[in-house]
Structure 1
């Protein structure tokens, strides 16, 4: 029973590390898109890349 618990613990730990690495990689990728969205010649507000739109937080998202 102890060996089964140890194997399960290793699998759970491996899954957690994989999930954490995926989240960190996605965060860094999105941060990179934001950092390179302000290159000279690019619009200040608007498309950063295909399918990505920047919006100022002070702007209204929708009108009612």
Structure 2
């Protein structure tokens, strides 16, 4: 359970860095994402999940 809390904390740090350092870039990314088809977003999301699982498996496995 400690590992899960650490992982969530790291996600918050990484996500927060964008908004703390370059909020204008974050807004541009959000605007660009609104124009991307939903199917493409799902594909990229699925790839990110698979890459994350693979990375954790390689490190922890």
Q: Flag whether TM exceeds 0.5 (same fold).
A: no
Max radius of gyration: which structure? 1
The structure showing larger relative contact order (alpha-carbon pairs under 8 Å, at least 6 residues apart) is 1
TM-score bin, normalised by smaller chain: 0.3 to 0.5
Query: Between Structure 1 and Structure 2, which shows a larger proportion of helix residues?
Result: 2
